[in-house]
Structure 1
Amino acid sequence: MRFLLLLLACLPLTVSSANDSRPNIVLIMADDIGIEGLACYGGVSYETAALDQLASDGVRFTHAYSQPLCTPTRVQLMSGKYNHRNWKTFGILDSNVKTFGHRMKEEGYATAIFGKWQLQSYDPPGYPGADERRGTGMHPKDAGFDHYALFHALHTEDKGSRYANPTMLEGEAGQGGTLKTYTGQFGEDIWVEKTIDFLKQDRDEPAFVYYPMALPHWPFVPTPISDDWDPSQPVVEQLKYFEDMVEYMDVAVGNLINGLQSNGLRENTIVIFYGDNGTHLKVVSKLADGRFIQGGKGLTKQTGIHVPLIVSW
């Protein structure tokens, strides 16, 4: 979980001139994907050409691990501390924690976060104990990021969709932000576009973007590459869409890489792809050696904690 901090320790982070040549960093974290979901790790159930190429051009780690659930991994990764030192409750990040957003700001980086938050006011009204937890946690405006556009960044009942017609809270450091819904669009496309636009800005300092993806987390719904993609129609959740969701996760990464390349940013941008925990329990994927792997999300087994980690510069 301290990988990012270790990586930064190896880089020349001290500003040496007005023309700062330190690399940009984009940290992508997929939501619910074990190693069996990527072809470069031996999976054969899904097409992941962009991630396979990213691994081919960089380093594919074979011993990368996470916590078996979302929040424990996220608060551990963002704080650089194990959960017994930072844990409050599920869906909550301690408002007093110093995140890697704060650390990168201290090192002179422009910072942004686009994607999924789910670290404040997680409990819905009426949930046992909700009165003690609602309104607690860290608001993204206080998390060390200059700009943010995030799904599930306020009360649970306000979160809306993360996929078709996504709703996200958008704002800047110190500002509460506003909820915006992108009718007819898909969440990952918005976040990739915002990431590229942020990195394109003409500035003297390097940039750090944290992109905690929504894909391929349940609900399993159509994506823009699904035959029946139609954001104007009510969503019908079906397990069969998981394949499309994994493959659109790959499309999103590919679009991000292409955006970096077309804007002359790829050479000086470190791209990190990581997973927060194993695949959903209802999903069964196949490996090239013929084995079928059931997702282990939430379980303290290899299938719950062994995740992809790819780094490319």
Structure 2
Amino acid sequence: MTFLRLILALAGLATATGAEQRPNVLFILTDDQGYTTLSSYGNTLVPTPHLDRLAAAGARFTDAYVMPQCTPTRAAFLTGQHTARTRLWHVIPWYGTPWAPVREPAYAELLPRDTFTFPKALRAAGYVTGMAGKWHLTNGADGNYVALKPEAARHYGFDFSAPPGPGSQNEGDKHVDYLTDHAIAFMRQHRAHPWFFYLAHHTLHGKVSAPVALVEKYRARGAPATGLHNATYLAAIEHLDHSIGRLLAAIDELHLAERTLIVFLSDNGGIYQAYDVKPFTEGPGTATQLAVATEEFRNAPLRAGKGSPYEGGIRVPCLARWPGVIAPGTVSAFPIHVVDWAPTILALAGAAPPSAQTLDGTDLLPLLRGGAVPAHPLYWHLPLYDLRWGATPCAVIRDGDWKLIDYFGDSFDAAGRYRAGARVELFNLRSDLGETTDLAAREPARARQLQSQLRRWLGTVGAEIPGANPHHDPARALKETRVKPSHLTVVP
């Protein structure tokens, strides 16, 4: 080999090695998994040793936030934008409460193919990208609740999408093993190249299901067959934890641990109590008292659960491990939001969005590396009714220890009683994590300041602040329907 060829070969090797050393990202998003379902967050009913090991080897975030339901969190994660911008603040396919006192703004009913997603930028930067599991951002040709169709994956930034698993995702182990197998196979196939994999589990979404032997194990220990902390729910947590152990073992076997960021996150809070929706779907829609239909797992000390603007609906477990970057045993109380992960992953990959693309999140790399990022408020726009969770149109701001909920026209109190009229609620999360004491009347100046700050933010993102509904019908005020009335704008 000539000297020139040797230099060129070494240069090529250096380039390839540099590309290979860019960190991989395994992002695990679970479904309806509440804050207290991990041992490291206080769960004493189910051991979660593999998730505990992940926390011990990296960071545990005590103040990690998402949107309160499935579709909105998934949209915010992939786009890096608040749902106030994308209009994907509502679960799809369409349903609504079109005769309520407050007008629900029209929401987007799918994620368009031409939407920027950060996996598109990763692909452009040379990453191999893949996903497996719950999609819930389109209906029809490209995929649905269960999965993104493999042939449509490229339109959303993925080189690979696992096909739907065998049978129903509501049976057996809810495809936990199937999806984990695909993640491991992807890592094996692409271990020589930088990769991103989005593993979106169906567990713990209802209908909760788990391997029979594990269910029987918890029944034998005295867990009830149904209801709060039932055996199937506990078994599903253990089975999910086991799958995390399989992933960690595969990464170790492939010698990828030191250059792989693993993030574990839930898409919304867990279901402590779900309300009976029949009075609003089958009845006239005039009921004004919520009644509990099911109970699954307590979110205490957090208030409420899935679908709610209270902490139990939006604060979730979040773990991150990256050996050599994240110090083992880190516990961070810095408030982070699901929109922060897009700019963070792009930054670590050396990738960037198009110049005109707005990302609403904050790059968390300095925080992961043991430094700091500037304190900033977090925002939510939740302009919808969903009575199974007691939700009415509102927006939320958290700034430091303070949190304000701005109800645009009506609400339900802690006892499930309907209250007409706009109002704000103010909580100090440092002294009252359970949001038991509304301080709005005691701190009127602070409440006004936070509401004004929240309203200004809504204006900057072009969000519609819901007002009185011109089609309000007291005879069916809280009637939920899946048939869109003609007076509503059709949004693609």
Tell me whether the two structures share a fold, i.e. TM-score over 0.5: yes
Partner of 1:35: 35
Residue in structure 1 matched with residue 137 of structure 2 by the alignment: 119
Q: Cα deviation per residue 1:190-211 (whole Å; 9 max; x = unaligned)? A: 1111111111125653011001
The residue type equivalent to 1:104 in the other structure is L
Alpha-carbon distance in 2 for matches of 1:47, 1:295: 24
Check 1:29–1:225 CA distance in 2 against 1; reply closer, same or farther (3 A cut).
Answer: farther
**Structure 2 counterpart of 1:299, from 300, 308, 316:** 308
Cα deviations by residue, 1:236-263 (Å, 9 ceiling, x for unpaired): x955211111111111111111111122
Partner Cα separation in structure 2 for residue 16 and residue 93 of structure 1? 39
Cα drift, residue 103 of structure 1 = 1.7
Amino acid at match of 1:265: L
Q: How has the CA–CA distance of structure 1 residues 197 and 43 changed in structure 2, closer, same or farther, with 3 Å as cutoff?
A: same
The unaligned stretches of length 5 or more in structure 1 are: 1-14, 123-137, 153-158, 166-184, 230-236
Distance 1:100 1:51 in 2: 26
The question of 1:223 aligning with 2:230 is answered no
- Asked if 2 retains the 8 angstrom alpha-carbon contact of 1:73 and 1:277, the reply is yes
Matched positions, count:
248
Residues 1:275 and 2:261 are matched in the alignment: no
Give the Cα–Cα distance (whole angstroms) in 1 for the partners of residues 86 and 197 of structure 2.
23
Q: Distance in 2 between matches of 1:196 and 1:27?
A: 13
Letter in 1 for 2:200: P
Aligned to 1:47: 47
Q: Give the whole-Å Cα distance in 2 for the aligned partners of 1:37 and 1:272.
A: 16
Q: In 2, are the aligned partners of 1:67 and 1:305 still within 8 Å (CA)? A: yes
Contact 1:186 1:223 in 2 (8 A): no
Shift of 1:309: 1.0
Do 1:272 and 1:312's aligned partners in 2 also have CA atoms closer than 8 Å?
Answer: yes
- Deviation of the 1:295 alpha carbon: 5.5
Give the deviation of 1:38 after TM superposition. 1.0
Could you say which residue in structure 1 is the equivalent of 2:91? 90
Distance 1:258 1:299 in 2: 36
User: Runs ≥4 in structure 1, deviation > 6 angstroms?
Assistant: none
Greater radius of gyration (CA) = 2
What secondary structure does 2:197 align onto? strand
Q: For the aligned residues, what is the CA RMSD?
A: 2.7
Confirm whether residue 263 of structure 1 aligns to residue 254 of structure 2: yes
Q: Deviations over 1:109-160 (max 9, x none)?
A: 10000111122117xxxxxxxxxxxxxxx943411111101549xxxxxx95
SS of the equivalent of 1:226 reads: helix
Q: Distance in 2 between matches of 1:212 and 1:243?
A: 20
Higher mean displacement: 112-121 or 74-83: 112-121
Query: Structure with the greater relative contact order (CA < 8 A, sep ≥ 6): 1 or 2?
Result: 1
Structure-1 separation of matches of 2:152 and 2:234: 33
TM-score (norm 1): 0.72
Instruction: Identify which of 118, 138, 154 aligns with 1:100.
Output: 118
Distance of aligned partners of 1:32 and 1:258 in 2 relative to their CA distance in 1, 3 Å threshold: same
Aligned partners of 1:36, 1:285: CA distance in 2, in Å? 8
The DSSP-based 3-state class of the residue aligned with 1:308 is: strand
Classify the secondary structure of the residue corresponding to 1:17: helix
TM-score normalized with structure 2 length? 0.47
Say which SS state the counterpart of residue 259 (structure 1) adopts: helix
Identity across the alignment (%): 30
Counterparts of 2:83 and 2:167, CA distance in 1: 29
Unpaired runs of 5+ residues, structure 2, are 1-12, 93-109, 141-150, 218-224, 274-294, 323-492
Contact 2:304/2:311 (8 A) holds in 1? no
Structure 1 residue 267 displacement after superposition: 2.5
